[in-house]
Homo-oligomer: A and B are copies of this chain.
């Protein structure tokens, strides 16, 4: 039996809150009966939903909040005036140790700003990153950063590589995960200064990292490496380009299956099999972007997802908690800093 885990839920975040949020908690509860929840939000809207999903009464506590963060609020504004919002208080519960992690489908920029401010970054980490899983030809690949840091230098990329490696080893359970740096070509001379400098450092380092070298855009879906590292600008665009391409392909398939009588019959016969493809590429299945590098677990659900997608985001947060990701990464960065200090001392001592 799993040890109990308590998760903060920002019940007011996302396009269809609090309805799909509470329904998502219900779906998660069916899968993960050992998890408890603290729901932050407007209790007059949450309570009727708990009447509907009455199995949740025993595992949910409602914490009434007056305020909520709107989808278009600027992060800086939320930092100044958002302290009584459901999002802020849900994150704050993690900082105070009341809950082990937070899930929100609210404004991404605000959630990152509040999480950074309230939880702080882990010692030795300059910038947290957003990480997400991608389906690939070989299984699944972790990719980071997906949009937290638009401009990244080589050091940021190296930190992302370490955070991704620790995740792949501890949460995905891979023994020696391979790490690739996303670039426009696999040759050493390709790319911008940041990726070239990061690659040189990762090649030469004493880090216990299996650095594959550069990977290209097509390597993401091919599953060439277990962890793809990139800046937040490129990562965000790659993720959304892949989502758009899946949508385009499935539109083409739909049109094709309607294009002739034989194709329609063929569709009816193969429908179940085709449904499996849809399920494998369903963005809801990969919902739940992880904010890595913070002193606490925070997971961002897509704002437009449904209950199924929100439940998956809860599953991601529970996974991070259960595998003690943050303790692992803290230990890893402490070892790194100690090694750096020793090398500096050795260099100084001649």
Contacts and interface: CB of A to CB of B under 8 A. Distances in A.
Interface string A149-193: 011000000000000000000000000000000111001011110
27 contacts: A135-B248, A137-B247, A137-B248, A150-B190, A184-B237, A216-B240, A217-B240, A217-B243, A218-B247, A219-B244, A220-B244, A234-B234, A242-B242, A242-B244, A245-B246, A249-B250, A249-B281, A252-B276, A253-B253, A256-B273, A260-B272, A262-B272, A262-B273, A263-B270, A263-B272, A265-B266, A266-B269
Interface in A241-289: 241-253, 255-257, 259-260, 262-263, 265-274, 276-277, 280-281
A109 B250 CA distance: 35
Nearest to A280: B252
A148 to B, nearest CB: 10
A74 interface: yes
The residue in A233, A246, A257 that gathers the most chain B C-beta atoms within 10 A of its C-beta is A233
A232 interface: yes
A249 B237 CA distance: 19
Nearest to A146: B184
Given A256-B274, A270-B257, A272-B260, A221 B233 contact: no
Contacts of A74: 189
A222 interface: yes
Interface of A: 72, 74, 135-137, 147, 150-151, 182-184, 187, 189-192, 216-222, 230, 232-234, 236-253, 255-257, 259-260, 262-263, 265-274, 276-277, 280-281
A1 to B, nearest CB: 35
Contacts of A219: 244
How many copies are assembled? 2
Nearest to A222: B244
A262 B253 contact: no
Contacts of A251: 137
Contacts of A238: 217, 237-238, 241
Contacts of A187: 72
Nearest to A251: B137
Among A259, A265, A277: residue with most chain B CB under 10 A: A277
B265 A269 contact: yes
Contacts of A232: 184
B276 A259 contact: yes
Contacts of A243: 217-218
B150 A191 contact: yes
Among A136, A219, A256: residue with most chain B CB under 10 A: A256
A274 B222 CA distance: 22
A189 B150 CA distance: 12
Among A136, A192, A246, residue most surrounded by chain B Cβ atoms (within 10 Å): A246
Contacts of A269: 262-263, 265-266, 269
